[in-house]
Structure formats: C-alpha cells, structure tokens
C-alpha cells in the first residue's frame, strides 16, 4: 500500500480543518463577504433581465392602458354632464320651491308658471317675453310676479307667448304702500331701470329699509304684493312731496321663471277720472 505524500496530506488536513471550521460557524463572516458580490451580480442580472422583458412586453400594456384611459375619460365626461344636469335641476327646484312659497303666501291668487324666453331688443324698453299666451288663458293686464316679488304686468298676448312690461320700465307706474309708515305713493320706473317713489307726502315718515308693497289703488295690481325696500330718501325743502329710491325685491337681470296671476282682472278706471271743465263759451 502506497503511503500518501506529505503535501497531499497537508492539503487534506487543511481542507478537513476548513470544513470543520465552516461546520462550527467560524467561517460565516468570511463566507458572507465572499458571497455578497455574487448576490449583487445576480440581482443586477435579474433586474436587467426583467427590464428587457418589460420592454418587450410593453406595447400590449401601453395599448391596454390607453384603452382604459379612454374609457375612464369617457366615464368622467359622462359623470360631469350628469353633475351639471343635476346642479341645474337643483337650481330649478330651488326656484320652483321659492315660487311655491310665494304662491302659498298668497293663496287667494291663481298662478300660471311661465319661463322667460326673451327680452326686448331695445335698451329703452324694459320688457320680457314669456312662453305662455292666450292659449293658456293669459290676458293683457294680468300681474306677473317672481319668486321675490312683483315683476310687472302682461302687456300683449299672442297664442303661445306674451310680452310683459317690467315695473322698471320708464312708462311703468305702480300704486304702492310703504310699511310700516302706511303711506301711499306712486312707484315709477326709469330709463336706467331704477325705481323711484313719487308723491310721498312731506310729513310721512319713511325710512331706509321700509317695505314697499302694492296698494291695490287704481285697480291695476292686487294689493300686498312685495315690490322692494326703500334704499334712500330725498326731502327737499321747497318741494311739495318727498321722493325715495326703491331697491326692487326681484332680480330683473336674472329673471328666468315667473308666475302670472290669472284670476286678477285689472280695472280701467279712466272713465271715472273727472276731466277738467273748460271755460263757458
């Protein structure tokens, strides 16, 4: 039997020693340091391999994403449209609720709802056009109110539409009462749409904020319809009457829906007004 040579024995002993040291856990830190670069290299290889794989698979993913994006955009647009419609319906509902409140406050009247579909082309004419007419039993002279208060009076009628003269029109005259002073006066419009209170006695105590309602005198409007509030007063020493400006309750710039009071017939009292008698021949 051949005896092992010395170098081979030394190597065998060293390897056995290393194995024993490894099994005993004495080489773990050293092995960790040796393995670390290998792990890093493997991680890098995997990362680059995945990147290449993703790049090769990208076209189908992008197409899927684009399709999904289009679907979501269409859905957002649809929801936005629905939201706008709902907001409009809520606004209309609030408007009709306000009109209903007004109708409940004056149960003695019968109303016909109408939408404002146009305005007079001339800036000197404060008129609106509504979408109800003689087919809906609308007649000239019927008062028109908004959710806030008096708006005007029906001026002319055709079968499916009517023209309404607003109280801001310069030719409009409304007999009103100022409360709580309980003073009768005449409310007139103007070219600029401002409302002026005329024929207020000098001794009448009217103040800013007092309410102005229709008096019913003259037979053109029913009584107790809110018109507005006193905004300012003017009292001139040499004048026979004091004057005031009135802030209308109705927002005439945003008039969209109105109510026509259909059971009120204006009274023409012109024949009852005495005419001046001329000098005897």
- Least distance CB 227 / other proteins (angstroms): 20
146 lines the binding site for other proteins (CB under 8 A): no
Distance of closest approach, residue 269 Cβ to other proteins, in angstroms = 19
Rank residues 38 and 273 by Cβ distance to other proteins and give the closer one: 273
Question: How far apart are the C-alpha atoms of 148 and 254, rounded to whole Å?
Answer: 12
CA angle 127, 128, 134 (to 5 degrees): 110
Complex with other proteins: residue 193 or 266, whichever CB lies closer: 193
Q: Indicate whether 29 belongs to the interface with other proteins (CB under 8 A).
A: no
Among 109, 133, 155, 264, the residue binding other proteins under the rule CB under 8 A is 155
Minimum distance between the CB of residue 241 and other proteins, rounded to whole angstroms?
18
Beta carbon of residue 170, minimum distance to other proteins (angstroms, whole number): 4
Based on CB atoms, which residue is closest to other proteins, 154 or 211? Answer: 154
Cα-based distances in Å from 175 to 24, 85, 108, 270: 114, 41, 20, 15
Distances (CA, A) of 8 to 13, 18, 32, 64, 80: 8, 15, 29, 66, 86
Q: In terms of Cα–Cα distance, which of 24, 26, 23, 43 is closest to 35?
A: 43
Closest CA to 88 of 256, 245, 260: 256
C-alpha 99/C-alpha 95 separation (Å) is: 6
With CB under 8 A as the contact rule, the residue among 4, 12, 118, 223 that binds other proteins is 118
- What's the min distance (Å) between Cβ of 192 and other proteins? 5
Contact call for residue 257 and other proteins (CB under 8 A): no
What is the C-alpha to C-alpha distance for residues 81 and 89, in angstroms, rounded to an integer?
12
Query: Exposure pattern of 92-103 as b/e (b: 16+ CB <10 Å)?
Result: eeeeeeebeebb
Residues within window 163-202 making contact with other proteins, judged by CB under 8 A = 163, 165, 170-171, 190-193
- How many CB atoms sit inside 10 A of residue 183's CB? 21
Q: Is residue 50 reached through a cis peptide bond, with omega within 30 degrees of 0 on the bond before it?
A: no
* Cα–Cα dist 225/111, whole Å: 14
- Interaction between residue 139 and other proteins (CB under 8 A): no
- Nearer to other proteins by Cβ, of 122 and 182: the residue is 122
Site size for other proteins (CB under 8 A): 22
Stretch that binds other proteins, among 16-24, 113-121, 210-218, 265-273 (CB under 8 A): 113-121
Does residue 258 touch other proteins according to CB under 8 A?
no
* Residue 229 touches other proteins, criterion: CB under 8 A: no
Residues that bind other proteins (CB under 8 A): 117-125, 127, 129, 155-156, 163, 165, 170-171, 190-193, 253
């Amino acid at each position: 039997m051949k005896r092992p040579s010395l170098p081979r024995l030394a190597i065998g002993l060293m390897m056995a020693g290393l194995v024993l040291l490894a099994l005993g856990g004495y080489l773990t830190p050293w092995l960790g340091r040796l393995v670390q670069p290998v792990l890093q290299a493997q991680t890098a290889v995997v990362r680059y391999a995945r990147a290449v794989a993703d790049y090769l698979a990208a076209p189908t993913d992008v197409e899927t994403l684009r399709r999904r994006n289009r679907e979501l955009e269409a859905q957002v647009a649809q929801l936005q449209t629905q939201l706008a419609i709902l907001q409009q319906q809520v606004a209309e509902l609030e408007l009709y609720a306000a009109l209903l409140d007004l109708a409940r406050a004056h149960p003695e009247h019968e109303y016909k709802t109408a939408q404002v579909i146009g305005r007079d082309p001339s800036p000197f004419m404060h008129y609106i056009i509504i979408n109800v007419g003689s087919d809906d039993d609308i007649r000239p002279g019927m008062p028109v109110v908004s959710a806030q208060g008096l708006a005007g009076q029906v001026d002319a009628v055709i079968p499916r539409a009517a023209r309404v003269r607003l109280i801001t029109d310069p030719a409009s005259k409304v007999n009103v009462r100022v409360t709580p002073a309980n003073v009768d006066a005449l409310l007139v419009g103007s070219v600029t749409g401002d409302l002026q209170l005329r024929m207020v006695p000098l001794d009448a105590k009217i103040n800013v904020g007092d309410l102005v309602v229709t008096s019913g005198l003259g037979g053109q409007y029913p009584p107790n319809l809110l018109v507005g509030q006193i905004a300012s007063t003017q009292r001139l020493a040499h004048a026979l009457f004091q004057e005031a400006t009135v802030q209308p309750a109705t927002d005439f710039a945003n008039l969209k829906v109105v109510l026509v009071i259909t059971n009120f017939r204006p009274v023409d009292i012109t024949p009852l007004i005495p005419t001046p008698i001329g000098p005897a021949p």
